[in-house]
Structure 1
Amino acid sequence: MNLWNYVRGRGEFLAFLTYQHASLAFQTVLVGTIVAVLIAVAVYRLPLVAALSLTSSRVALTIPSLALLALLLVPFGLGVVPSFIMLAFFAALPVIGNAIVGLRSVPASVVESARGIGFSRWRILLTVELPIAWPVILTGIRVSTQMIVGVGAIVAYVLGPGLGSLIFNGLSRLGGANALEMALTGTILIVLIALVFDALLVLLGRLTIAKGLS
């Protein structure tokens, strides 16, 4: 009941924080995905470089997000810029691995058939390889999105936007008025954002993945 009273009295404020959080997650995943796919396209035909990129992307996921955020404070200060860079960096990592695996798993016979009917290298990439690899890439995007929506709360430490401020303010005031409600509200809203984004990505997959590839 206390939770409902807290939410009901702060609807506009909570909607604004939710929008900030969702917007930051969407933008960083979008930028991270574009960068990741470009890297994958550049290296997937080179077995050694592709293997190194795949391994590096997995190892980079072990970097503590708070440590990276702290390092970014030196050149960029507090606020949106270090938050965006940190989240976009982590957003790209799952997609890089999946994009490389997806592109390398395209059957050679399919590529040769496309080449045999006169397709250029770029046309093969855009009309054959990427569509076949898309289900694997999309899986990476889903993983990335879920991770970034959660990790996005951490940017509150550097005065970044979103629901993290609600959670950490509540935790820092535990025992005080509305402290628990603040933390719970922020957590619940983050979970809801993650569920909505995942549902939209599932819908995107149904609209863009050919039936034979699903």
Structure 2
Amino acid sequence: MWEYVVDRRDEILFLSYQHVSLVLQCILLATAIALLIAVFVYRSRRMTEAANSVSAIGLTIPSFAFLGILLTVTGFGITTSVIALTFYGALPILRNAVVGLAGVDRTAVESARGIGMSRIATLLRVELPLAWPVILAGIRVSTQMTMGVAAIAAYVLGPGLGSLIFAGLSRLGGAGAVYSTLTGTIVVVLLALVVDVLLVLVGRLTTSKGIRV
């Protein structure tokens, strides 16, 4: 297997770059969408419950099935992959964002409003910073999950390490088939661990010392 990796190191590095790039871009988009929705719903109990229900139901949809449905609309390629990854990526972030914002101490919010802060200023300077650790936890979970979904996206010709996995599975019994599948899987896991460590560091840098766990 080591010889297989060495012989194809350039291809593996390029596919790894594609994989991480796709995941991170989709997570950024998913975070923006999830936060926007959370900001609009977290003050309403009914809307919060609806958002949590959508998140829970969405996570039960098999990624293969969802990709297959998208395939009939957007076809093969990166567009289908981005839509699928953004959809799955937004769900855990939305749930945590709603929980985090709803759990902010109302006394802190009322104090901010009492000293003349506008609702937007209170949201940006008080509520979001206090909810950030919970939101970041959702982003970490989302990133790990999306790393796996990105591999499955090779089914619709999406970029990344999934192509190695599917190439091996499509010719099981042939030369290097098992190595191809194992290499793709192991590298996806390693990349997920590395990205998670980086997100932990981001959390330490962006979370106020007063609320850091």
| TM-score, normalised relative to structure 2 | 0.98
Tell me by how many angstroms 1:103 deviates. 0.2
2:26 aligned with 1:28: yes
Partner of 2:47: 49
CA deviation profile, 1:23-48 (whole Å, cap 9, x unmatched): 11111111001100000001111111
Q: 1:139 aligns with which of 137, 140, 160?
A: 137
RMSD, aligned α-carbons: 0.7
In the alignment, residue 62 of structure 2 is paired with which amino acid?
A: P
Tell me by how many angstroms 1:149 deviates. 0.4
In the alignment, residue 78 of structure 2 is paired with which amino acid?
A: V
Q: Where do 5+ consecutive residues of structure 1 fail to align?
A: none
Q: 2:15 aligns with which of 8, 14, 17?
A: 17
Q: Distance in 2 between matches of 1:68 and 1:18?
A: 24
Q: Distance in 2 between matches of 1:171 and 1:54?
A: 36
CA deviation profile, 1:101-158 (whole Å, cap 9, x unmatched): 0000011111110011000000000000000000000000000000000111111111
Q: Distance in 1 between matches of 2:114 and 2:16?
A: 51
Partner of 1:126: 124
CA deviation profile, 1:169-189 (whole Å, cap 9, x unmatched): 112212111111101110111
The share of aligned pairs that are identical, in percent, is 58
In the alignment, residue 161 of structure 1 is paired with which amino acid?
A: P
Farther off after superposition, 126-135 or 179-188: 179-188
Partner of 1:194: 192
| TM-score, normalised relative to structure 1 | 0.97
SS in 2 for 1:170: helix
Partner of 2:167: 169
CA deviation profile, 1:56-88 (whole Å, cap 9, x unmatched): 111110011111111111221101001110010
Q: Where do 5+ consecutive residues of structure 2 fail to align?
A: none
4+ residue segments displaced more than 6 Å: none
2:207 aligned with 1:209: yes
Partner of 1:64: 62
Q: Distance in 1 between matches of 2:107 and 2:157?
A: 52
Q: 1:60-139 residue pairs with structure 2 within 5 A?
A: 60-139=58-137
In the alignment, residue 64 of structure 1 is paired with which amino acid?
A: P
Aligned residues, how many? 212
